[in-house]
A and B are shown apart, each in its own frame.
Chain A
Amino acid sequence: MATILANNDNVDITMPELKFDITRVRQDFPTLNQSINACPLVYLDSGATTQKPQCVIDTTAKFYTDENANVHRGRHTLSENATIQYENVRAQTATYFGVNSSEIVWTKGATEAINLVANGLRKQVTANDTIIITPIEHHANLVPWQVLAQQTGAKLAAMPLNKDGTFDTELCLKFIKKQKPAIVAISHVSNALGNITDLPAIIECAKSLGAIVVVDGAQSAMHLKPNLKILDCDFYVFSAHKMIGPTGVGGLYGRYELLNDLTPYQTGGEMIQTVTLYESVYRDAPAKFESGTPNIAGITAFGAALSYLSQFRHAEIFEHEQAVFNYAHSRLAKIDGIYLYSSIKNNIGTLCFNYKDEHPFDLATLLDGYGVAVRAGHHCTQPLMAHLGINGSVRASFAFYNNYSDVDKFIDALQACIAILD
């Protein structure tokens, strides 16, 4: 079994002084300041969705209260202002990722963005092509490629993965060279484990062989704030709600020439240049992928989320998350009977674990009794769970608004739950 019995007395429990003003940050997130089942909420499910700062909530309300209008349509003041704001957020997002505005397409989330790419590539993929997928992928970055393979006759090939759920980069490069893929679809960070993939080497190798590299950035967009021009992937997808923004908003970055070559899989208004009864001419990217009225309020509020994040240096956020994560895993490792599946090195701050042979559902149910919110189950990664030889696990995923006290409450609650189960 690919698990490590995490009972290592040599692990130092260190709590370096936190540099950024975590008390103030926590006050900005109203959801965090409440009791669940008469205990202070300990929110450790940011991998599923992050909490929202007050400015994001206020921006949503302000949009519907004072600013509501459709974009790219009316010539009236409200519509023009809404359009300016909407396009400003696109520019803000492009700046966040170090790319051009025209390379950002709005979607309703990372899942839709992957579907957009997979469907958009259909005309370019043939039965002779190979699509590399990996065993760590979220189902959202697997199923669309399975469908594409079925539709085109292309072959799917799964990247080799170590027993412990990490990649051996050398083996990956060998595999890529052997497969000569047309497409490589890979996560920047495993949603179940939090492990960070060594992407630069993989991307360089795949692209040198002419492959298109599609990166699932749902878990990395906030925690790692990647510069996508430096990362040099061809496509990258993200979800606003995992970046302290609203649900129902996400996006796709695509290298412009490749993006513009994709075939739109949704058609309708706003994406066309001219329409006659029998045929239409599409506009260029990104407009041609944005038919219909978008989530204007959500996108506007996402702008507030990005502004909120931009008040910190990213290194500050990352350092803080790492300090809390290191403290958490060192405390978790002291508990007898814990199996830890997450890698401790190169991790965004996710602890994927089980306790003895207890069902993760039971542990998560009891943890909720103590106000601790975690996820239990297969985390939409059934192939990874099968690879690890488990049916599921408990996942505690941290974000920059978590503090040492959250870790203490979580560990105390976990020990109390274990006492109930034992």
Chain B
Amino acid sequence: MTNTFNKVSESIRSASVWQQKYREIMLLGKTLPSLPTALKIDDALVPGCESKVWMYVEFDLTENVLVVAGDSDTRIVKGLLALILALYNGLTPEQVLQVNAYNEFEKLGLISHLSPSRGNGIKAMVEKIQTMAKQN
């Protein structure tokens, strides 16, 4: 697991009640820089979400790493996005395939947010990152 992820998820891990967990998630979301309006286009929207989630997954050829960026109009989803970014950003495709977001979310008590019914785009984002890693 990346150090960045361990660091950013620490406060969520140590939250004693669910209310505190969500507070920490939303605070984490605040630290994530907003995407410029020019990038918040419909083409970048994750389809089928109750909330708006814009995401970009690119492969940096020179560094051989994945570059992930995203934003959401909801505070909770934006916090969850920040977790995903911390989990995957800057990893090589081989490293990406070693990471299991489901396990990590399970450990944080957030697995329900990766369920298909939530429709919050986080699951779709993980799937897109995994697909991208397999192609590179």
**Which residue numbers of A lie inside 8 Å of B, CB to CB?**
37, 358-359, 361-362, 365-366, 369, 376-377, 391-392, 416, 420-421
A–B Cβ pairs within 8 angstroms, 26 of them:
A37-B18, A359-B51, A359-B74, A359-B75, A361-B50, A361-B51, A361-B74, A361-B76, A361-B120, A362-B74, A362-B75, A362-B76, A365-B22, A365-B76, A366-B19, A366-B22, A369-B19, A369-B22, A376-B50, A377-B50, A391-B52, A391-B73, A392-B50, A416-B19, A420-B19, A420-B23
Q: Which residues of B contact A421 (CB under 8 A)?
A: 26, 75
The residue on A at minimum CB distance from B18 is: A369
B85 at the interface (CB under 8 A from A): no
The residue on A at minimum CB distance from B118 is: A365
Q: Which residues of B contact A376 (CB under 8 A)?
A: 50
B77 at the interface (CB under 8 A from A): yes
With both chains docked as a complex, state the minimum distance between the C-beta of A175 and any C-beta of chain B, in angstroms.
32
Chain B 58-75 interface 0/1 with A at a Cβ cutoff of 8 Å (1 = within)? 000000000000000111
With both chains docked as a complex, state the minimum distance between the C-beta of B43 and any C-beta of chain A, in angstroms.
19
* Bound-state Cα–Cα, A364 to B50, Å: 11
* Bound-state Cα–Cα, A358 to B76, Å: 11
Say which size band chain B's interface belongs to: 10 to 19
The residue on B at minimum CB distance from A366 is: B22
CB–CB A361/B77 < 8 A? yes
* Bound-state Cα–Cα, A161 to B52, Å: 27
Q: Which of B22, B52, B77, B120 interacts with A420 by CB under 8 Å?
A: B22
The residue on A at minimum CB distance from B77 is: A361
Q: Which residues of B contact A361 (CB under 8 A)?
A: 50-51, 74, 76-77, 120
With both chains docked as a complex, state the minimum distance between the C-beta of B7 and any C-beta of chain A, in angstroms.
23
* Bound-state Cα–Cα, A365 to B75, Å: 11
| B:34-68 near A, CB below 8 Å | 50-52
With both chains docked as a complex, state the minimum distance between the C-beta of A356 and any C-beta of chain B, in angstroms.
12
> What 4 new A-B contacts, CB under 8 Å, besides A358-B75, A366-B76, A369-B22?
A361-B74, A362-B75, A365-B22, A391-B52
With both chains docked as a complex, state the minimum distance between the C-beta of A14 and any C-beta of chain B, in angstroms.
32
Q: Which residues of B contact A362 (CB under 8 A)?
A: 26, 74-76
* Bound-state Cα–Cα, A59 to B57, Å: 51
With both chains docked as a complex, state the minimum distance between the C-beta of A355 and any C-beta of chain B, in angstroms.
12
With both chains docked as a complex, state the minimum distance between the C-beta of A375 and any C-beta of chain B, in angstroms.
9
Chain B 73-96 interface 0/1 with A at a Cβ cutoff of 8 Å (1 = within)? 111110000000000000000000
* Bound-state Cα–Cα, A421 to B26, Å: 9
The residue on B at minimum CB distance from A375 is: B50
The residue on B at minimum CB distance from A378 is: B50
The residue on A at minimum CB distance from B75 is: A362
With both chains docked as a complex, state the minimum distance between the C-beta of A139 and any C-beta of chain B, in angstroms.
14
With both chains docked as a complex, state the minimum distance between the C-beta of A354 and any C-beta of chain B, in angstroms.
13
Q: Which residues of A contact B76 (CB under 8 A)?
A: 361-362, 365-366
* Bound-state Cα–Cα, A248 to B8, Å: 45
With both chains docked as a complex, state the minimum distance between the C-beta of A422 and any C-beta of chain B, in angstroms.
11
Top 6 closest pairs, chain A to chain B, by CB: A359-B74, A361-B51, A361-B74, A377-B50, A362-B76, A362-B75
CB–CB B18/A359 < 8 A? no
* Bound-state Cα–Cα, A263 to B21, Å: 57
With both chains docked as a complex, state the minimum distance between the C-beta of B79 and any C-beta of chain A, in angstroms.
10
* Bound-state Cα–Cα, A366 to B19, Å: 8
CB–CB A359/B19 < 8 A? no
Q: Which residues of A contact B22 (CB under 8 A)?
A: 365-366, 369, 420
With both chains docked as a complex, state the minimum distance between the C-beta of B98 and any C-beta of chain A, in angstroms.
30
* Bound-state Cα–Cα, A386 to B56, Å: 27
Q: Which residues of A contact B74 (CB under 8 A)?
A: 359, 361-362
The residue on B at minimum CB distance from A369 is: B18
* Bound-state Cα–Cα, A391 to B49, Å: 13
With both chains docked as a complex, state the minimum distance between the C-beta of B9 and any C-beta of chain A, in angstroms.
18
* Bound-state Cα–Cα, A391 to B73, Å: 10
The residue on A at minimum CB distance from B29 is: A362
With both chains docked as a complex, state the minimum distance between the C-beta of A386 and any C-beta of chain B, in angstroms.
15
* Bound-state Cα–Cα, A37 to B18, Å: 10
* Bound-state Cα–Cα, A47 to B10, Å: 39
The residue on B at minimum CB distance from A416 is: B19
Most buried by B among A362, A369, A377: A362
Q: Which residues of A contact B26 (CB under 8 A)?
A: 362, 421
Chain B 14-26 interface 0/1 with A at a Cβ cutoff of 8 Å (1 = within)? 0000110011001
